[in-house]
Amino acid sequence: MDLEFWNENVELMKREELDKLQLERLKNTLINVYENVPFYKKRLDDCGVNPYKFSSFEEMGKIPFTTKEDLRLNYPFKMFARPLDKIIRIHSSSGTTGNPTVVAYTKEDIAMWGDAIARQLFALGLRSGDAIQNSYGYGLFTGGLGLHYGIETLGAIALPVSGGNTERQIKIMQDFKPAAICCTPSYALYIAEVGKEMGVDFSGLSMKAGIFGAEPWTDVMRMEIEQRLKIDAYDIYGLSEVMGPGIACECTFKNGLHISEDNFIAEIIDSKTQKRVPKGKIGELVFTTITKEGMPVIRYRTKDLTNINYDVCQCGRTHARMAKTIGRSDDMLIIRGVNVFPSQIEEVLMKIKGIEPHYLIVVDRRNYLDYIDVWVEVSEDIFSEKMNTLEEFESSIEHKLYSAIGINIGVKLKEPKTIKRSEGKARRVVDMRKGEKP
């Protein structure tokens, strides 16, 4: 295979050189936040880390974590490390509970972000001349503009369609002939469904790749999307507090997401003890930005669970790879003492023939006991079968869920197209114990 790189010097850097670069950049970042963000000055003084004498990853371990709550308490601009006349962009999370979190970027930060994403798009095979349909939402959400600048930095053609209006998305695919699409994996499935209804043959279109992220999705879901849209589906990861999309992304080998290690230091901690776990073990991802100027974050707890592989990838790139996330620690359901992640349920469901990749997990309490039901759509042909066959089908799925997960999960088969489709991040869990409604 012909291996090409966007920036060979950075992408193939030896581990010792990377470590050195990270420490140097981390020191500069610590000095930046110490001088410019009162919150971090106090934090560093309290833990006894002097940024001017900072020298090792061990010492980094003494610095307390930054949490979403810290950002909320400093809402809106108190975490900025640059005066407002140096900030050229602000993004923000949706903030369904409490203050949203705010992120600020200088001109250099925007350039770094664009370059990080351009490198990733290049690594999964896109080049100048390729049109890329960007169906992530444009706005305060980082998906739209984040990918947009990456596409332009690559020198490819940005099609800034944003999310929604699915029939128009398909018309653009047919007429503008994009080489790739960027959107959430759940929206990709919806596009495939609408396309099928319109009689579109995706194998006849020009698309070869999809860049999907912003929500957890399993490898079985990947296979489903690849087969329906006739593309290669790649995983891109990020979170607004740290930058947005592009913190990590898969290369053509689809064997873990390369973390942009010249811009971020990743650590994995045990959420309970808050200690670093041994290399390769699963735990909570923690990120420190080492090139961002406008609003660096130090040891930001993402709540996303994964593990990191430091082996050199088959593609030759040395930057470590995070595994697809299992989900967020706060999405973990504890049902009668057993921990269950929505992704585990998805993994079982997606392997069963006759059901569609549209499901909703409903959690409730009955007679003081918590239980989970999964609503899942069956395909048209199965649905028209007799009632007793459907009941048997339900029990067989329940059985499969029980063998894989170890608790009883009720299954309710639903008519095709009755579960709400998503144009952005899918809502997979409804917790009736908290008063939520399906």
Q: How far is the CB of 116 from ligand DLL (least distance, A)?
A: 12
* Residue 304 Cβ vs ligand DLL, minimum distance, rounded to whole Å: 5
**Minimum Å distance from CB 122 to ligand DLL?**
17
Our CB check for ligand DLL shows the closer of 142 and 186 to be 142
Q: Identify residue 410 by its one-letter amino acid code.
A: G
Q: Using the minimum distance from each CB to ligand DLL, give the nearer residue, 178 or 245.
A: 245
- Write down the least CB distance from residue 132 to ligand DLL, Å: 13
Q: Quote the tokens at residue 277.
A: 């776990």
Residue nearest to ligand DLL (CB): 213
| Integer CA distances (angstroms), 218 to 185, 351, 358, 419, in order | 10, 11, 13, 19
**Residue 187 to residue 208: CA distance in whole angstroms:** 17
| CB of 51 or CB of 137, closer to ligand DLL | 137
Asked whether 107 and 82 are in contact (CB, 8 A), the reply is no
Minimum separation from the CB atom of position 250 to ligand DLL (A): 9
Q: Is 103 in contact with 90 (CB distance < 8 Å)?
A: yes
User: Is the CB of 245 or the CB of 296 nearer to ligand DLL?
Assistant: 245
In this complex, which beta carbon is closest to ligand DLL, that of residue 170 or of residue 239?
239
The residue among 283, 362, 261, 295 whose CA lies nearest residue 105 is 295
Which residues would be at the binding site for ligand DLL (CB under 6 A)? 93, 136, 142-143, 213-216, 235-240, 244-245, 302, 304, 325, 328
Residues 6 or more apart whose Cβ sits within 8 Å of residue 336: 369, 370, 407
Handedness of CA 365, 368, 370, 374 (dihedral sign): negative
Question: What is the smallest separation between the CB atom of 109 and ligand DLL, expressed in angstroms?
Answer: 15
Nearer to ligand DLL, 51 or 146 (CB): 146
Q: With CA atoms as reference, report the closest residue to 185 among 233, 137, 151, 141.
A: 233
Q: CB neighbours (10 Å) of residue 175? A: 8
